[in-house]
Structure formats: C-alpha cells, structure tokens
Amino acid sequence: MSSADAPAPRKFRFAAGGEGNAEEGGARRFVKLAQKAEELGYDSFMIPDHLGNQVGPIAALGALAVATDKIRIGTAVLANGFRHPAVLAKDAATIDVLSGGRLELGIGAGWMKEEFDKGGITYDSPGVRIAKLAESLEILDTLLRGQECNFQGEYYQINGLKGSPRPRQGPRPPIVVGGGGPKMLALAAKYADIISLAPPSNKDGKMLLSGITMEATAARVERIREAAGDRFDDIELNWTITTIMPTDDREAMAEMALAALDNGYPPNIEVDVKLTVEQILNSPYLAFGSYEEIADQIRSVRAQTSMSYVGIFPTQMEAFAPVIPLLKGE
C-alpha cells in the first residue's frame, strides 16, 4: 500500500480504568472514580476482571450505566473461563441498554492461573483456553445482535437461544479482545472490533520485558494486519500505558526504571532481556517526560504502529489527565 492509499490515522481515544480496591478508596468510591474520569475528558472507563482485590465488573458496570452520562464503559478484559457466554451475552446486552448504548465488551482467554486455582475453576492449557474463547466470541456475536443462536461446539452448545434484550448499539456493542501471543492476536484479528495489545506473558502469567519495546509492539501489529486482511482498517488498536512519570529528565527516569528492574521490581515482570535507556523511552507502555514530551511520544507510537486508543492504568488517571487536551481531536 502506498502512503497515498493509506487511510488517515484514527483519532486518539483515551480510556481510564478502575478496580474499586482499597488503594482507590474501595467499592463505594468506585462510581465517583468513573464520574471523575468523565469530567477529566476520558472517552471510556474500563474495569479489569480478577477474583482478587477489586469489584465485580458486571455489577459495577450496571452501577456506572446509570451514574455516568457520556463516557463509554467496558471491561479490560473479562476472563472467558469465569462465565458462560450465554449468561454473559444477557448481562452485556442489559448493560448496553441501561447505559444508552455505551458498552465496550472486552474479553480474553484468562491468564492468571493463581486466581483460577484459588476459585476452584479449571485452568486449561493455553490451546484449550483460546479454543473456548473462539467459541464464546462466535456465540456472543450472534446473541448480541439479538439473533437466535444454534451452536454446537466442542465446549459450548447453544440450542435455539435468542439474544435478549436487544442491545442499544447496532448491529451489536463493539467487542474488544485482549492478548499478546500470536494465537490470541490471530483470534482477535478474526472477531474483534477493538484489539488490546498486551506484551506476551510466561506460563506463570508474568509479563515478558522483551514485549514492551516498540519493535516487539510493531511486530504484534504486523501479525494482526496479516491475520485480519481486509478487516484491518476497521479494527481499532488499543494499548495500556502502565507507568506515567511526569519529569523534566526523561533519561534519568529511564535509568531509574532499569535499576528497579535489576532489583526485581515490579515483581510481575520477567526480565528476559536487557533493555537500553533508548528502548525504555521509546516503549509504548511507559510514559516519562513533560506532558508535551509524553504527547509527542504517543503521536510517535500511533505513527509507527497505527495504535490510537490509549489506556491508562488504574491509579494513573489524574497523572495522565493533562496530556488529554494536548491530543484531543487529533
């Protein structure tokens, strides 16, 4: 494709997030957190899905549907193994109706083995988890259109079930699929309206440091492009910035981050490669610098990868807020 044929870049969108845990002020402050995100100019507010220290995402979305006015609400992302797709479709359709058509339904294969084990829920092999998710996506696509579903899969069987209530959005609410490995990205390329690109993780659920570089991220986008074919231009690409550090010395902050990694912090990262200061500063997943420098970095990420939907980690919402007006509308 020549540059003349390339579509114009998508406009930036910004997603805040919250868990409703004690650090954020607990479940009772959770609604106020989403209302604050709306005030700060975020386009959406997303809730993760863990059995640990957070609110239940489906119940919380029900509350946000009536407590907010304009901000889109969704999940980033539900663990498919926690819910049957027929039940999830009804919950999702109900939330879309109650919110006036503001739902973005994010779903993934589920990756935190410890939570499945603690909850007594079977944690299947990666291949089975991905196969189950593929079946769920097919079922959700039908039911969320308000259509009758007849599906005979290896893991799910649906017999003449009609999706109800009919969602507000047509033809159905957008489906977000999150993942980092090649098989998950290929699956997302087939079904998703929005793909959330995460760095790959090891078998224990730790994120691989090698996956946060610009080069690795661009390679993941290429895999999506190849798998999606003609669909690619219709897919919105999302990523989540995990750390925002406003500073007037980006290089010094990057050196501090590398030193922390050498000392085993944060513990949920496997240091499988040694990164340079330049690689840290160019990573889409880290934002160090003045607000103008962070805005320029995000523009650079979009130019190199076509990713345009910027997610912000819970607890980082206010730290990032001054960047939004610098990029809004671009």
Give domain status of residue 5, yes or no: no
Check residues 3 and 218 and name the one with the higher pLDDT.
218
- Which residues are within 8 A (CB) of 130 and not within 5 positions of it... i.e. 6 or more apart? 109, 183, 184, 187
Task: Give the rounded percent of residues in the chain with a pLDDT score beyond 70.
Answer: 98
Task: Give the rounded percent of residues in the chain with a pLDDT score beyond 90.
Answer: 86
Separation of CA 9 from chain center:
20
Give domain status of residue 32, yes or no: yes
Give domain status of residue 85, yes or no: yes
> What domain count does the chain have?
1
Reported as a pLDDT band with limits 50, 70 and 90, residue 4 is: low
Reported as a pLDDT band with limits 50, 70 and 90, residue 206 is: confident
Give domain status of residue 2, yes or no: no
Closest CA to 106 of 20, 15, 7, 35: 15
Report residue 256 as tokens: 């501090």
The stretch 234-249 carries a mean pLDDT of 96
Query: What's the DSSP call for residue 99?
Result: T
Q: Does 105 score more than 70 pLDDT? A: yes
Tens digits of per-residue pLDDT, 163-201?
A: 999 999 999 999 999 888 899 999 999 999 999 999 988
Tens digits of per-residue pLDDT, 258-302?
A: 999 999 888 889 999 999 999 999 999 999 999 999 999 999 999
Residue-number span of the structural domain to which 220 is assigned: 13-327
Give domain status of residue 318, yes or no: yes
Give domain status of residue 123, yes or no: yes
Please tell me the distance from the alpha carbon of residue 186 to that of residue 183, in angstroms, as a whole number: 5
- The pLDDT of residue 202 is 81
- The pLDDT of residue 81 is 96
Reported as a pLDDT band with limits 50, 70 and 90, residue 2 is: very low
Give domain status of residue 7, yes or no: no
The enclosing domain of 257 has a CATH number of 3.20.20.30
Please tell me the distance from the alpha carbon of residue 14 to that of residue 329, in angstroms, as a whole number: 11
Give domain status of residue 124, yes or no: yes
The answer to whether the pTM exceeds 0.75 is: yes
- Which residues are within 8 A (CB) of 13 and not within 5 positions of it... i.e. 6 or more apart? 43, 44, 236, 308, 309, 310
The stretch 206-229 carries a mean pLDDT of 95
Contact 14, 324 (CB under 8 A): yes
